[in-house]
Amino acid sequence: MDLSPQVLAQLAAVCPDGLLTAPEDLAVYGFDGTAALKQRPGAVVLVRSTQQVVECVRIAAAHSVPIVTRGSGTGLSGGSVPVAGCIVLCLVQMDAILEVDPNNLTLRAQSGAITQKIDEAAGKHGLFYPPDPGSMKISTIGGNVAENSGGLRGLKYGVTRDYVMGLEVVLPDGRVVNLGNACVKDVAGYSMKDLFIGSEGTLGIITEVRLKLLPRPAARRTMLAMFERMEDAAQTVSAIIAARIIPCTLEFLDRMTIRCVEDFARIGLPTDCGAILLMETDGHPAAVAEEAQQMEALARLHKAREVRTAKDASEATTLATARRSAFSALARVRPTTILEDITVPRSALAEMVGFIAESAARHRLQVGTFGHMGDGNLHPTFLTDERDHEEMARVHLALEEIVTKTLSLGGTITGEHGVGLAKKQWIRKQLGDASFELMRQIKMALDPRALLNPGKIFD
Amino acid sequence: MATLRELDYSVLQQCMHCGMCLPTCPTYDATKRERHSPRGRIALMRAIADEEIAVNRTFAEEMSYCLGCLACQTACPAGVDYATLFETARADIETAGLPQSVARRFWRWLTLRALFMHPARLRLVGKILRWVQSNGLDVAARAAGLTRLLPADLRRLEPQAPAISPAFSDDLIEPDELSRSAGPVRRRVALLTGCIQDLAFSEINRDTADVLLANGCDVHTAPEQSCCGSLHSHNGATDLARTLAKRMIDTLPPGEFDAIISNAGGCGSHLRHYSSLLKDDPQYAEKARLWDSKVRDIHEWLMGIGCRAPEAAPEPGPVTVSYHDSCHLAHGQKVVQPPRALLALLPGVRMVELPEASWCCGSAGIYSITQPEQSAQLLERKVGHILGTGATILATANPGCHLQLLNGLRAKGSKVELAHPVTLLARAYRNERKNLKTKIN
Ligand SMILES: Cc1cc2nc3c(=O)[nH]c(=O)nc-3n(C[C@H](O)[C@H](O)[C@H](O)COP(=O)(O)OP(=O)(O)OC[C@H]3O[C@@H](n4cnc5c(N)ncnc54)[C@H](O)[C@@H]3O)c2cc1C
Ligand code: SF4
Ligand code: SF4
């Protein structure tokens, strides 16, 4: 579906150097980080200011053309995959970090700013921005807010939502609203900003964010525990939490994932062990030392073969970086990687982990599992080939089983990647009719003409 | 070589769109446009393989804008072979025979066909340039406006052309030199003297031979070596690249050496991949595999055999040295630590890490000719970082980077010296002997 010359002319008038319409430009905005989803947009606009966003939204509204907002396109549920004939508004050029306020511990940035740059800007003042998704070196803060992204430090520090103090949002009719403020407490009416966190670009376009920062912890210790069996790693996590320790990171990789990561990063991970736990504690030096000791003891109690401590900050960073590459590294094995994002109550972790392995074996599939074990958030990743239809059918059977099992354990189909296109077939099942309808009513109230990211989350 | 359409589809499919390579790509960094990113370029190649778009002018421009720096390949956790995709794409563009500007065609012809296929001709041009330069005629000609007769591109570059070495490698190195250092193991290596390296930096070849000799390696060089074909492969002239590869294997039969040593990042990166270039050639496929297994970067080789730490310093007083990674050494050959480790062996040298050390300097083969603006921006950024380190010597191991950085630094009025790491090591060894003589006297 092509856009009318009139729409294109108006867009060009608003963003003379930002409008892209060549086939070579459209093809490359047709996908995000999700496997096997592709759709060419009608046009792409690289916007530079809130004002340009407003004017593009007005043009789209006047001509009833849908808009799909895009950050860096690393989403894993198809959130920024275009709708046929839509306008893609890409915000990566709106990447200014506007202010770091070390007195109030806040930071203001345009929503196209890269997550890692935000943390680095905070770092210059001895502060930090805790949510650190695996994609942080390229994901935008707008994308993080729209997906309510988690990260490796979620166990202790929470997710993106816990750090959003205020948002500037362009609504589907072109109005600009400022939600939230720099106050630590605020109960003036509904918490409107919270509505837009995790809204996946379906309610409004976030153009600016105000974030909460924390003082950088004085000390940090990173350890790697190696296990023969995945179940022992899961037991260790439960034991650590039962011992009332809240480390900032408890990430795990299974055997398949370890092999792929080692193949890429070559940092000497043992490729013959069944699971690795990456554990990190931070805070006051004395507390860190004590917690690290306890965690190491608990790992050994649960049959850890070896526990290694990173010798310095740079080795700790190397380990975390290797963990961040897990998902992409799994793609080394087969052409298509289909990744899930299920989350279960932590007490059900060992059972879920076992079920995934069993289901994959029964359907004769290759699976690599890694994830934020401390959060109960697992990423079973099927390694397959989208061109092999018979195998893909088996993948879908396994996925269906895993989702059903997750829900029966009181879990959720997505812990951090969002519903988008990839998970929408299951959302009603998880939420139940009443909550599902409530969500739809909210969408209708804000975007009655379904102009923003139509077809995502629900139809 | 296969075209994008014939290429094993899994090479294209390997990219899973994660975007982890985007922040390392200089052209994406400059424009933030997806098309100028590795992920975007691979998507375009896949669209061509799927026959959704054609190999057209836009695609050609896109692939010409790509530096081929391979930073994306280092960053990619999924193991995407961007080097193969890049060369296949450029070869496709050449075969498609798209209309090109006269200037571009002239340049391709001059560099790829007329000069770099014929070592003797290249030498001759070198000799003429040397004569012109040594007689100050270049300055005179420029002053007289004679250079206006050159095409615009050439005129812009002419003052930046490399100063030609006063002697070529074979004037400086005997075909066979035997190591006199009394070590337990004696090794026999072939030294590649390169074409640009030979024209502009033959002293670096002498230094390389010296440090090899000092570390128990007998050094063999061929008096007349062809170009390794890296320029050709990089610019879509695969057939010429194949011819040059065969010639090289014949000149230096790999079975006769423990290692084949390269001291230029860009050449080494290409030299290690003869087997994929010649895999369908029944006569050469096997030899090429042996060849690949023998090619070593000089730093990698020296550190691997346990390079002897010199007892003397390379410079009279203490100096601060920084190191710039050549893209094709760091990303193409994955040689990152050995040059740094080698520099760390030198007494009297304080090493400072260069910020963004492995970010392309904009030289990238003939990129500074084909994409002058982007090249200049990258150079500006690099020079800024170099000056920021306060180093008085910048070490780098690729002639292209060397020339580019030299021009960039001199244009800013900086006196920072450029040196190959091996040159500093050779100097230190020479100073050992000097010190010894002074002691004896
Ligand atoms: C290798 C890899 C590792 C990852 N690791 C993690 C992880 O650890 N934790 C995690 O939670 N996620 C992770 N992700 C998923 C993804 O990176 C996050 O969802 C991220 O927040 C997406 O940011 P983006 O800028 O790429 O957004 P996009 O993918 O471009 O967009 C994502 C969604 O947000 C919407 N959107 C984007 N910007 C705006 C805006 N300004 N206003 C309104 N809507 C907007 C889009 O419409 C879309 O629905 C990972 C992805 C990859 C590829
Ligand atoms: S090239 Fe590698 S890093 Fe870049 S998007 Fe593709 S898979 Fe990811
Ligand atoms: S080779 Fe360099 S310029 Fe080309 S896509 Fe890769 S990183 Fe970008």
Q: Cβ distance A149 to A133 under 8 Å? A: yes
Confidence of residue B100 (pLDDT cuts 50, 70, 90): low
Q: Residue A286 contacts by C-beta under 8 Å, 6 or more apart in sequence?
A: none
Instruction: State the pLDDT at residue B148.
Output: 46
Report CB contact under 8 Å: A329, B78.
Answer: yes
Question: In B, which residues are within 8 Å of A30 by CB distance?
Answer: 43
- Of the candidates A279, A253, A259, the one whose C-alpha atom is nearest the C-alpha of residue A370 is A253
| Residue B41 CB–ligand 2 contact under 6 Å | no
More confident residue, A116 or B98: A116
pLDDT at B154 over 50: no
> Are residues B378 and B241 both part of a single domain?
no
CA distance B430 to B440: 16
Q: Residue type at A435?
A: S
Exposure on the CB side of residue A389, measured as CA atoms within 13 A: 0
Strand pairing partners for A368? A381
How many structural domains comprise chain B? 3
Q: How many angstroms does the Cα of residue B75 sit away from the middle of ligand 2?
A: 8
pLDDT at B211 over 60: yes
The beta-carbon neighbor of A74 closest among B9, B18, B58 is B18
pLDDT at B120 over 80: no
CATH of the domain at B407: 1.20.1050.140
The beta-carbon neighbor of A24 closest among B14, B16, B44 is B44
Q: How many angstroms does the Cα of residue B31 sit away from the middle of ligand 2?
A: 18
Residue B171 forms part of a structural domain: yes
More confident residue, A341 or B155: A341
Q: Domain ranges for chain A, please list them.
A: 5-90, 97-215, 219-328
Residue B100 forms part of a structural domain: no
Instruction: State the pLDDT at residue B121.
Output: 60
Q: Which residue is associated with the tokens 């990211």?
A: A453
Instruction: Answer left, alpha or beta for residue B236, where phi above 0 means left and psi between -120 and 50 means alpha.
Output: left
Please report, to the nearest 10 degrees, the dihedral formed by the alpha carbons of residues A117, A122, A123, A125 taken in order. Answer: 140
Q: How many CB atoms lie within 10 A of CB B415?
A: 7
Last residue of a domain, one of B284, B308, B332: B308
pLDDT at B141 over 70: no
Fold of A219-328: Alpha-Beta Plaits (3.30.70)
Fold of A97-215: 3.30.465
Which parts of A60-134 are beta strand (E)? 67-70, 87-90, 97-101, 106-110, 127-128
- Of the candidates B126, B254, B277, the one whose C-alpha atom is nearest the C-alpha of residue B190 is B254
pLDDT at B143 over 50: no
Strand pairing partners for A387? none
> Are residues B289 and B403 both part of a single domain?
no
Q: Specify the residue with its C-alpha closest to ligand 2, atom 8.
A: B18
pLDDT at B351 over 90: yes
Instruction: State the pLDDT at residue A35.
Output: 82
Residue B397 forms part of a structural domain: yes
Instruction: State the pLDDT at residue A459.
Output: 86
> Are residues B227 and B326 both part of a single domain?
no
CA distance A424 to A415: 14
Q: Rounded to a whole number, what is the distance in angstroms from the first to the last CA of chain B?
A: 63
Residue B314 forms part of a structural domain: no
The pLDDT mean for chain B works out to 84
3-class state of residue B136 by DSSP: coil
Phi, psi (degrees; rounded to nearest 5) at A159: -115, -175
pLDDT at B264 over 80: yes
Q: Give the strand order in the sheet containing A164-170.
A: A97-101, A106-110, A205-212, A164-170, A176-180
Q: Residue type at B382?
A: K
| Residue B83 CB–ligand 2 contact under 6 Å | no
Which parts of A26-105 are beta strand (E)? 43-46, 67-70, 87-90, 97-101
> Are residues B181 and B201 both part of a single domain?
yes
Domain range for B129: 105-308
Question: How many degrees, rounded to 5, is the angle at CA B233 between CA B230 and CA B239?
Answer: 120
Strand pairing partners for B158? none
> Are residues B150 and B193 both part of a single domain?
yes
CA distance B346 to B424: 8
> Are residues B45 and B191 both part of a single domain?
no
Q: Which atom of ligand 1 approaches the CA of B19 most closely?
A: 53
Q: Cβ distance A236 to A218 under 8 Å? A: no
| Residue B17 CB–ligand 2 contact under 6 Å | yes
Instruction: State the pLDDT at residue A58.
Output: 97
Identical fold between A97-215 and A219-328: no
Fold of A5-90: 3.30.43
Residue B119 forms part of a structural domain: yes
Q: How many CB atoms lie within 10 A of CB A21?
A: 16
Which parts of A116-201 are beta strand (E)? 127-128, 164-170, 176-180
Q: Cβ distance B418 to B394 under 8 Å? A: yes
Q: Cβ distance B175 to B222 under 8 Å? A: yes
More confident residue, B174 or B90: B90
Q: How many angstroms does the Cα of residue A26 sit away from the middle of ligand 1?
A: 20
pLDDT at B147 over 50: no
Question: In A, which residues are within 8 Å of B25 by CB distance?
Answer: none
- Of the candidates A306, A314, A312, the one whose C-alpha atom is nearest the C-alpha of residue A274 is A306
Instruction: State the pLDDT at residue B145.
Output: 47
Residue B437 forms part of a structural domain: no
pLDDT at B126 over 80: no
Classify each residue of B251-262 as buried b or exposed e, where b means 16 or more C-beta atoms within 10 Å of its C-beta: ebebeebbbbbb
Last residue of a domain, one of B286, B308, B330: B308
> Are residues B253 and B139 both part of a single domain?
yes
Last residue of a domain, one of B308, B327, B360: B308
Instruction: State the pLDDT at residue B231.
Output: 75
List chain A residues with pLDDT less than 50.
none
A124-128, B55-59, B424-428: which range is least confident on average?
A: B55-59
Q: Give the strand order in the sheet containing A43-46.
A: A19-20, A43-46, A87-90, A67-70
| Residue B23 CB–ligand 2 contact under 6 Å | no
**Backbone CA torsion sign across B112, B116, B117, B120:** positive
ipTM score assigned to the predicted complex: 0.93
> Are residues B81 and B113 both part of a single domain?
no
CA distance B39 to B22: 7
More confident residue, B121 or A90: A90
Phi, psi (degrees; rounded to nearest 5) at A378: -110, 145
pLDDT at B82 over 80: yes
More confident residue, B138 or A186: A186
